[in-house]
Structure 1
Amino acid sequence: MPTDDDLFEKMRVELRRGSLVLAVLGALREERYGYTLRQSLEEAGLPIDEGALYPLLRRLEAQGLLTSEWREDAKRTKRFYQLSTQGVETLAQLLGEWNAISESILRLTEKDK
């Protein structure tokens, strides 16, 4: 039988997974390459492993939400990512949904005042 810590950890990972998609889309309103994206997510309190970030970026690009371009920067070739037009629209819709869910959860979990 799983411990309370095991159960919490599984639920935490599940909650973070969906949140990271929104965070990555939000961070890519401005063009970034993978390393600087990871840094900005970590600075915001949402660290992500490379092994999770790059598959996520490829999936979001395949879904039409991101565009990418290989360019040389500081004598190294790097892949830069940015929201596509569809990505901008989807981010706006997801943020609206996120805010509605957040408000509902707050209403459901607030104690009587």
Structure 2
Amino acid sequence: MGETDLYEAMRLELRRGSLVLAVLARLKTEQYGYSLRVALGEHGLEMEESTLYPLLRRLESQGLLTSEWREEERRKKRFYRLSPEGEAMLGRLEAEWRRLSASLDRIL
């Protein structure tokens, strides 16, 4: 594996957990998939649809999100939001993120 390939693999590993936290945080307010993807991108966390939608389905199957289909602008869209369990998990993960980030700041 070349240096570029190794860096890319490590970068993706680092991003993976961060994306879960970002998605949960953005879904404190209800959004549909595309609007969520745009909002994340505006904050520098661009994500392919092939990453976002499986993540949303997984988080919903874990009980952290709820969703419902609705018609908006004459199109059916699936709207997602945090479940009560998702809100609790977000609080716990945010606290852990802050502890980890502070530790890494000291180490780096």
CA distance in 2 between counterparts of 1:98 and 1:76 reads 37
Runs of 4+ in 1 over 6 A off after TM superposition: none
Show structure 1 runs of 5+ residues with no match.
none
Q: How many aligned residue pairs are there? A: 108
Aligned to 1:101: 100
TM-score between both structures, scaled by the size of structure 2: 0.98
Q: Displacement of 1:70 after TM fit?
A: 0.4
Measured after TM superposition, the shift of residue 83 of structure 1 is: 0.2
2:56 match: 57
How far apart are residue 4 of structure 1 and its match? 1.7
Could you list the per-position Cα deviations for residues 38-88 of structure 1 after superposition, in whole angstroms to 9, with x for gaps in the alignment?
000100100111111110000000000000000010111100000000000
2-structure distance, mates of 1:59, 1:6: 27
Q: Over alpha carbons, which structure has the higher Rg?
A: 1
**CA distance, structure 2, for counterparts of residue 53 and residue 12 of structure 1:** 17
Alignment match, 2:15? 16
Question: What fraction of aligned residue pairs are identical, expressed as a percent?
Answer: 58
Query: Matched residue of 1:78: which SS?
Result: strand
Give the whole-Å Cα distance in 2 for the aligned partners of 1:54 and 1:6: 25
- Superposition deviation, residue 6 in structure 1: 1.3
User: What TM-score do you get using the length of structure 1 for normalisation?
Assistant: 0.94
Range 3-12 or range 87-96, more displaced: 3-12
Partner of 1:11, secondary structure, is helix
Distance 2:4 2:51 in 1: 23
Q: Distance in 1 between matches of 2:39 and 2:28?
A: 12
- 1:15 alignment partner, SS class: helix
SS at match of 1:40: helix
* Distance apart, 1:101 and its partner CA: 0.3
Q: Which runs of 5+ in 2 are unaligned?
A: none
Matches for 1:1-113 after TM superposition, within 5 Å: 2-109=1-108
**Residue aligned with 1:77, SS:** strand
Q: CA deviation at 1:12?
A: 0.3
User: 1:33 deviation in Å?
Assistant: 0.2
